[in-house]
């Protein structure tokens, strides 16, 4: 131990699934030493961060629009009548969905 080149020790607890995933990824490169693999990944590896806040916002708004459409469908089922205003509102909500989708997809580029 006294002659070790690397005297600092880092510990990182992992789950069984994480350990299996690390071992699988390690099998894809030419090494069988987990210490060397983890050191290389920690120093030279990279993390891809994807900001999904706009997708979460999209889902929230989409959920609200869906709720409105469900209320219209419930009213139609109860009265057995559909009103022009209901059709117009559904068209407006569909347009909102398309606009949200366009904004979300353009933000991903």
Are 70 and 90 part of one and the same domain?
Answer: yes
Percent of the chain with pLDDT over 70: 93
Give the pLDDT score at 108: 64
Query: How far apart (Å, rounded) are the C-alpha atoms in residues 8 and 5?
Result: 9
Are 58 and 43 part of one and the same domain?
Answer: no
Residue 5 lies in a domain: no
pLDDT at 61 over 90: no
Give the pLDDT score at 48: 67
Domain that holds residue 67: 53-107
Are 94 and 65 part of one and the same domain?
Answer: yes
Query: How far apart (Å, rounded) are the C-alpha atoms in residues 78 and 49?
Result: 48
Tens of pLDDT, residues 62-103: 888 888 888 888 888 898 888 888 888 888 888 888 888 887
Mean pLDDT, residues 16-37 taken together: 90
The CA-CA-CA angle for residues 32, 36, 38, to 5°, reads 100
Position with higher pLDDT, 96 vs 109: 96
Task: Supply 49's token pair.
Answer: 């961060």
Query: How far apart (Å, rounded) are the C-alpha atoms in residues 51 and 107?
Result: 10
Are 43 and 84 part of one and the same domain?
Answer: no
């Amino acid at each position: 131990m006294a002659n070790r080149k690397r005297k600092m020790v880092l510990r990182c607890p992992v789950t069984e699934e994480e350990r299996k995933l690390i071992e699988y990824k390690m099998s894809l490169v030419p090494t069988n030493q987990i210490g060397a693999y983890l050191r290389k990944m920690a120093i030279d590896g990279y993390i891809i961060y994807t900001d999904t806040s706009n997708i979460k916002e999209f889902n929230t708004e989409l959920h609200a629009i869906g709720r409105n459409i469900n209320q219209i469908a419930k009213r139609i089922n109860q009265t057995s009548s559909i009103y022009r205003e209901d059709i117009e509102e559904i068209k407006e909500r569909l347009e909102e969905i398309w606009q949200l989708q366009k904004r979300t997809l353009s933000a991903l580029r």
